[in-house]
Each structure stands twice: as structure tokens, then as C-alpha cells.
Amino acid sequence: MNTRFSSSRRTLLIAAAAAIALPVRMAAAAPASDGRALLEAFLARAKGGEGTFRQQTRDRNGNVTGSAEGRFVFLRPGAFDWSYTKPYSQQIVSDGKTLWIYDEDLMQVTVRPIGEGLDATPAAVLFGSGRIPEDWGVESAERVLTLTPPEAVGGFERIVIRFSAEGVPATLELSDSFGQTTTVEFPGFAAAVPPADRFAFKVPEGVDVVEASF
């Protein structure tokens, strides 16, 4: 098993899925600077895109416990390719039905169904129906939106989306039940609508395949 991710693989997966779809540069800023209005404007316009990300995780004391960066591509609903390039190589790919986690160093691919599982995670807001679940708590302020599920979902207790002055999502913060906070920044993005077959992952030759449930 990949010891680097054995205790936090689900957390990183959901962070990736939730973050990929956020940083779409809209043709015009939302008519209001209210966080919910900005998110809804994004959901109405965003179909796909690609770009870069930086990710950092801190413990409950504020100490940095992990940093990473990489690239992403997404196509709503449900398809994405979230690839870490530093400090290690790992690729997380979904075609909307199946999820593949490829660890290049370990020469291992973990495969699991994602369809129903995605609908039960924070990622559903962005990759699923494009709506905030009715039973989630919503706090909307000036360029900030805080989402709180009724109970921890995939380990997450709170999601905070912060928008830039131009109305573009700038950071995503995910707080988990262990007191950790994962922050994802988006320094680069280009709007795009990639073809669906872009997300059909092919297992490299000689790589071990592990089947797992969500």
C-alpha cells in the first residue's frame, strides 16, 4: 500500500475533485460580490477547463504537514484529471463513472467506482448537478462562501471558497475532522472544453492494478 496516502487518500481525492472545477475565469464578473452569487454564476457558465494548482496542508496547530503542486483538466459533470507533479508524481483520473489513482513511483493503479460516491461528496457541488445540497449550511459574505454539510462528508466538515476582486475563485480551503486544513490556490487557468475521451485512463504496461470500493 502507498504509505504516503494510506491515511489521507480519500481526503486528497475529494480536495482534488472539489478544487478542479473552481477557477473558471468568467467572461464578466458576477453582478454581485456575494459569495453564493459568484459561485452560482460559475456553475451556470463553467463546462470545462485546465490549469495549475498549489496545495498545502496544515495541522490544527498551523504547522505545514504537506505541500504539492501540479496540473488539472476537468469536464463537467464528473470527468477530471488531477495530476501532482511535485514533490512526487501521482495522477487521479475520473471519467464520471470510474476513478483511477496512479502512483508512478509505486507502479500501482487503484481503481474504484465513483458515480454514486461522487454524489455523496463536496465534489457533487461542482461535478454533479451543479447545485449546493439543500441540507448543507451556507454562509455567504463579500467574495467568500462557506459550505457546511450536516455531518462530515468524506472527512470534511467545512469548505470555504474565496473569490478575487474580479469575481474569480482564488482559493479553496477544506477543513477535515482531524483538525487539518488543506488550501488549494490556482495561479493558472484556461477555459476549455476537453473531449470526453480525454478522461479514459489507460493502465500503463507492467503496473499493478488494485480494485477497491469507494
Lowest mean pLDDT among 5-9, 100-104, 151-155: 5-9
**How far is Cα 43 from Cα 24, in angstroms, rounded to an integer?**
9
| H-only helix segments in 121-180 | 124-127
Angle (CA) 108-110-111 rounded to 5° is: 140
Q: What confidence category does residue 154 fall into, taking pLDDT thresholds of 50, 70 and 90?
A: low
Tens-digit pLDDT profile for residues 166-175: 666 778 888 9
Mean pLDDT (the chain) is: 77
Over residues 129-133, mean pLDDT = 64
For the chain, percent helix, then strand, then coil, each to nearest 5?
15, 45, 40
pLDDT at site 184: 86
What pLDDT does 56 receive? Answer: 92
Half-sphere exposure of 101 (CA within 13 A, CB side): 22
Residue 70 forms beta bridges with which residues? 53, 84
Has residue 127 got a pLDDT over 70?
no
Asked if 40 contacts 125 with a C-beta cutoff of 8 angstroms, the reply is: no
Picking from 145, 138, 135, 16, the residue whose alpha carbon sits closest to that of residue 79 is 16
- On the question of pLDDT at 128 being above 60, the answer is no
- Taking only the tens place, the pLDDT of each residue in 70-121 is 998 888 878 888 889 999 899 988 888 888 989 988 999 999 887 655 544 5
pLDDT for position 214: 55
H or E element at residue 119? helix 115-119
Instruction: Give 206: exposed, middle or buried? Use CB within 10 Å, 0-12, 13-18, 19+.
Output: exposed
18-27, 84-93, 202-211: range with lowest mean pLDDT: 18-27
Write down the pTM of the prediction. Answer: 0.76
Run of H or E including 98? strand 98-103
